Structure 1
Amino acid sequence: MTDARVPILMYHAVATDPNEATRALSVTPKAFAEQMAVLADRGRTPLTTAGLAACWRSGRPLPDRPVLVTFDDGYEGVHRHALPALAEHGFPATLFVTTGWLRGPYDTGGGLDTMLDWDQVRALASAGVEIGGHSHSHPQLDQVSEATLRFELIHCKEIISDQLGSVPASFAYPYGYSDRRVRQAVRETGYAQALAVGNGLAHRAQGPYALRRVTVRRDTGIDQFERMVEGRAIARTFAGDRALTKGYAVVRRARRAVRTLAGSGG
């Protein structure tokens, strides 16, 4: 099964009453619990990001019907609401933290809603949740200078290592954006694998630094969730998202070209 296509689910906030900034990408605690029950009922075997990458890197077979449950940013509801549902089924997961958004000594005030503190992150790690990096301040990494890029990656890694006593192995790109320069910097920082978005199933040929994920949102119904996990109708479900992403990518490339010319005096 080294050539298997694996659903990597991307969550953000898990909250009953999220604020407007996180509402679209949040799920209710009830919906999250139902989704985890679906994975259990369908015989899915959750892995951490590091676990999946290790299998593909070594050529070891994957477990039967693998799936990944991942969270971005570091919202407090991951500890309050998601962890009990994961624990009920004995599921591991991966949490990618934006270190400058978490409550504590490194807080820059940029968090979009109530964020985890480091005691809660350590509790999640102790419960079997892999903690990965998601930058320090959540910029579009492919749009920043080389110095800022290196700072975002290294500072994030150092803070996680200091707080947890272990070096993070996995990374997720803020907004899903990366390019060759960003992926190379992530690799050189010491992360062994990284996740994008892409809204498609992950497979080994994508390479360890561009694995795709599927977005789970507040309006993702249980029938749609089941289809996404099985890899059915993903292209149709996210057709609008892909059109917008392609259009925005053109705009972002143009903006970056203008900044590069301005910086070079051209």
Structure 2
Amino acid sequence: MGTVLRCLISTSFFAVPVSTAAAEVDLVWRPSVQTVQPGEIVALELVAVGPSDRSASIAAIDVVLAWDEHRLEYIGLDNNGPYAWLIAGLLPDRDGLNTNLADGVAFYTALARFDADAIVDGAGVLVATFRFRALVRTVATRVAVEPAGGPNSRTVVFGRESPIQDISGQFGNAVIRIGTPGDCTNDHAVGSADFGGLQSCFTGPVGPVDPPAYPIALPSCCPAFDFDIDGDIDLFDLSAFVNSTDQPNGATVETRHVAQHAFPE
């Protein structure tokens, strides 16, 4: 029954006439930035945010999620928002995004009930909470809401109007910092004791181009020194490390810059 009901709304199973309305509902993550240690669980709330001056009614939401499976392990989700969806979860999809949830891509669907509208406003409404386990150190990795994941899978917020309306707004990313950037001694601070680790990990611009190779090819703390997340540890990373030295809890200011540099909107 779930597949039949979903076909009534979603474009993921077959073509449904969809009109484009004003961009009204954003999909964002809260919190947008978190710092955790390897092995800890990251909880990310997917929130639908409506217009600031009025409410919007949602018929369904399709969301393509993407993350670095080498840095984050998907654990599960909870449909724990205030609205009780008719159907919600990682359902079977035509592009097979939910066939293997260990590959860093998933497709979430939430279908509103016919007897009660899903209403959102400028304050936002929690849709679901997704959980990941942090695997290895990295200055910043992200969980993204992607526009599309295949020919039949795209991120859309559907409105209640007829014909079915696309009322999608902007899609957000969450940045996860795993471990303290620049910390190789596990003391949650950056200091002279960490410099030896940086020396061992320094590769120059031709260093390993595949970040997941770090735990095998280099000491386990090397991802903490890749400040610009470009797959090597070079002079930019050395400069960022120097700017971070002796700052309690690591390079808060520097990593904020790096997150913007590494993940442009």
Shorter-chain TM range is: under 0.3
* TM-score (norm: length of structure 2): 0.25
Which has more radius of gyration? 2
Greater share of helix: 1
* TM-score (norm: length of structure 1): 0.25
